Amino acid sequence: MKKDFISIQDFTPEELQSMLDLAIQLKKEYFSGGNPPLLKGKVLGMIFQKPSLRTRVSFDMAMRHLGGDALYLSPNEIGLGQRESIADVARVLSGYVHAIMARVFAHEHVLELARWASVPVINGLSDYDHPCQAMADALTILEKFGTLKGINVTFVGDGNNVCVSLMHIVTKLG
């Protein structure tokens, strides 16, 4: 069964903690000699409507560390929702890649990709949500303090997608 990663709200606290535990395990493996090729033969299609150095490098390197490949698709190559319909992009990519990561302007675009794709879709950022950033922030807190329970988190900045996702994850994980 296909499981998308669109929003922190879509997951139980147990599922989120399980993902964080896996991230800790994979990070330890990487720094002690490398990860097993868990994603050998797998390809992540990366749709970038909105460019980003950190998002592109982190997803690309994560795929390489786990034995897979990443395919970067620039805004000009796709024209998401303009030159090609989102439904068509989702269906075409689903025939070639094993998962899709999308960094988009409108949250509705990532929802529509997930609706039409037959492979998992990861929200790399939308105007509403930034769940990967929230997971990275939770991982940093966990590594620094050894727990997520009872930690006070303060966000200084705009009430944007990062703030929304951080509020969701701290609420879910105590």
113 found inside a domain: yes
Give the three-class secondary structure for 153: coil
Q: Is residue 14 part of a domain?
A: yes
Amino acid at 89: V
> Any idea what the CATH number is for the domain that residue 161 is in?
3.40.50.1370
3-state class of 122 per DSSP?
strand
Residue type at 78 in one-letter notation: I
Kindly list the distances between the CA atom of residue 57 and the CA atoms of 9, 86, 111, in Å, as whole numbers in the listed order: 26, 24, 23
Is position 121 within any domain? Answer: yes
Amino acid at 168: H
Domain membership flag for residue 112: yes
Judge whether 64 lies within some domain: yes
Domain with 142 in it: 8-173
Q: Is residue 154 included in any domain, yes or no?
A: yes
Mean pLDDT for back-to-back runs of 10 residues, the chain (174 residues): 94 97 97 95 96 94 97 87 88 98 96 98 97 97 94 90 95 93
Number of domains in the chain: 1
111 within some domain: yes
Question: Looking at the domain assignment, is residue 1 inside a domain?
Answer: no
Written as six digits, the tokens of 117 are 């794709």
Provide the pLDDT for residue 76.
85
CA-based Rg of the chain, rounded to a whole angstrom?
16
Yes or no: say if 69 and 42 are a contact pair by the CB < 8 Å rule.
yes
Alpha-helix runs per DSSP H in the chain: 13-31, 53-65, 75-78, 86-94, 107-116, 131-145, 161-173
